[in-house]
Amino acid sequence: MTRQPNETLFAQHLADISQRTAVALQRSRLDGLIVHAGETLGLFLDDQHYPFKPHPPFKWWAPLLDAPGSLVHFSPGRRPTLVFRVERGFWYSPAALPEADWPAAFEVVIVHSLAEARAALPADLSRTAWIGDPRPELLQWGVAAINPPELLRRLDFARAVKTPYEIAALADANRLAARGHRAAAQRFLEG
Q: Distance (Å, rounded) from C-alpha 59 to C-alpha 35?
A: 10
Q: Distance (Å, rounded) from C-alpha 106 to C-alpha 84?
A: 11
The pLDDT of residue 90 is 59
Mean local confidence (pLDDT), 34-39: 95
In this structure, the strands spanning 71-74 and 81-85 are antiparallel
Name residue 75's amino acid: S
**In terms of pLDDT, which residue wins out, 2 or 163?**
163
179: Cβ–Cβ under 8 A, 6 or more apart, which residues?
Answer: none
The pLDDT of residue 21 is 97
The pLDDT of residue 94 is 67
Q: Distance (Å, rounded) from C-alpha 124 to C-alpha 19?
A: 22
DSSP H helical segments within 81-163, as ranges? 114-120, 138-141, 149-160
The pLDDT of residue 6 is 75
The pLDDT of residue 155 is 96
Q: What are phi and psi of 141, to 5 degrees?
A: -75, -25
pLDDT digits 0-9 by tens, 103-127: 888 999 999 999 999 999 999 999 9
Percent of the chain beyond pLDDT 90? Answer: 62
Question: Is a pLDDT exceeding 50 seen at residue 9?
Answer: yes
Question: Is a pLDDT exceeding 60 seen at residue 88?
Answer: yes
